[in-house]
């Protein structure tokens, strides 16, 4: 009658486990059968008192407690819960949720583990993403071809909330979904657009850079965010270029830059091409100046960013 859900903060997976716990005990998710609390807005004593209260108009009730930080660090108010789990109500299903790791040494955790059904939510690995997304596509009953599936996976992998949001958009499309429809309806992640804009600027493809910017503008992306994103990318390129010209090989550069994958170094050097350190530093200085003026509202940030793009390199 007690469940402990902890680990990653993947909301979809957490909600699924909550539903499973309630379903296992034949509890309907409605205002009479399930109550949700958030600690410490609700005290442990208040939660325990509710657990001991007889259900209203139902045989069993569910009590969901979110943000159970007392499972990770010691607090002074957990004694009522420790006593409760030693003799829990047989009409209450208590579901404790903590988005993080639990402290196995705490008395409250030790007592809960003796009686609770444990569910650890793990992060989704890069290898698992295609399978997870395909399962969700099937759950949404979308009619979609293989090319469209692959394009959707490429545009959404790595962020489950984004996957669900974009699937909801596709669900509104009444008909068979092709790759072209995915391209038109599912926006690429901001980071992908940053990579594309950097490539366009370094290759002198101003039209392409402006096209990417216009797409982001339609999505109401703030130019200040774009300046920051570009600065991050160019700063990384500068570091790679500088270390490489100091005689470091790709593996050594990767180790110096927080043990990143050597493949990232290879593609960064390929991206930089014939551009030297001074050119990249000039771009970084431009971006720093632009960022300061935008934040101080000295210039129209949209027009200023467009002028930065059309200047070319």
Q: What is the pLDDT of residues 63-121, one digit of tens each?
A: 999 999 999 999 999 999 999 999 999 999 999 999 999 999 999 999 999 999 999 99
HSE-up of 17 (CA within 13 Å, CB side)? Answer: 25
Who has greater pLDDT, 46 or 272? 46
**pLDDT reported for residue 73:** 93
Q: Helices 79-86 & 44-52, crossing angle to 10 degrees?
A: 30
**pTM over cut 0.75:** no
Q: How far apart are CA 210 and CA 311, in angstroms?
A: 11
Sign of CA dihedral 83, 86, 90, 94: positive
Q: At 31, is the pLDDT very low, low, confident or very high (cuts 50, 70, 90)?
A: low
pLDDT in tens, 207-216: 989 988 988 8
Q: How far apart are CA 296 and CA 177, in angstroms?
A: 45
**pLDDT reported for residue 280:** 93
40 upstream amide cis, omega within 30 of 0 = yes
Q: What average pLDDT does range 169-175 have in this prediction?
A: 88
| CA angle at 128 for the pair 122 and 129, rounded to the nearest 5° | 100
Task: Delineate the domains of the chain, giving CATH numbers in brackets.
Answer: 2-121 (3.40.50.300), 129-185 (1.10.8), 190-310 (1.20.272.10)
Q: What percent of the chain has pLDDT over 70?
A: 98
**pLDDT reported for residue 298:** 86
**pLDDT reported for residue 258:** 83
**pLDDT reported for residue 262:** 80
Answer yes or no: is pLDDT of 187 > 80. no
Answer yes or no: is pLDDT of 190 > 80. no
Q: How far apart are CA 285 and CA 269, in angstroms?
A: 21
Cβ neighbourhood burial of 142 (10 Å; 0-12, 13-18, 19+): middle
Q: Write out the DSSP string of 105-173.
A: TSHHHHHHHHHSEEEEEPPPPTTTHHHHHHHHHHHTT--B-HHHHHHHHHHHTT-HHHHHHHHHHHHTS
**pLDDT reported for residue 312:** 63
**pLDDT reported for residue 286:** 94
């Amino acid at each position: 009658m007690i469940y402990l859900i902890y680990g990653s903060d993947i909301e979809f997976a957490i909600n699924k486990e909550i539903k499973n716990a309630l379903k296992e005990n034949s509890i309907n998710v409605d205002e009479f059968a399930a109550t949700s609390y958030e600690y410490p807005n609700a005290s442990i004593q208040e939660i325990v008192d509710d657990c001991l209260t007889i259900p209203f108009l139902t045989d069993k009730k569910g009590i969901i407690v979110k943000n159970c930080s007392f499972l990770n660090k010691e607090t002074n108010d957990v004694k009522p819960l420790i006593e409760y789990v030693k003799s829990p109500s047989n009409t209450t299903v208590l579901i404790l949720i903590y988005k993080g790791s639990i402290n196995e040494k705490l008395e409250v955790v030790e007592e809960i583990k003796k009686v609770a059904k444990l569910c650890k939510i793990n992060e989704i690995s890069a290898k698992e993403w295609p399978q997870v997304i395909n399962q969700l596509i099937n759950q949404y009953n979308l009619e979609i071809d293989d090319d469209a599936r692959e394009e959707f996976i490429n545009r959404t992998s790595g962020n489950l909330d984004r996957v669900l949001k974009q699937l909801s958009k596709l669900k509104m499309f009444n008909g068979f979904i092709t790759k072209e429809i995915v391209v038109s309806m599912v926006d690429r992640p901001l980071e992908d657009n940053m990579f594309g804009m950097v490539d366009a600027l370094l290759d002198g493809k101003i039209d392409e850079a402006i096209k990417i910017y216009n797409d982001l503008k339609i999505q109401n992306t703030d130019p200040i965010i774009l300046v920051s994103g570009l600065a991050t990318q160019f700063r990384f390129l500068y570091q790679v270029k500088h270390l490489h010209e100091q005689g470091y090989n790709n593996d050594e550069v990767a180790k110096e830059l927080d043990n990143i994958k050597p493949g990232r170094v290879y593609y960064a050097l390929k991206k930089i091409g014939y551009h030297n350190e001074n050119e990249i530093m000039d771009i970084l200085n431009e971006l720093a100046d632009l960022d300061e003026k935008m934040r101080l509202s000295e210039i129209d940030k949209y027009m200023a960013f467009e002028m930065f793009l059309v200047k070319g390199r």
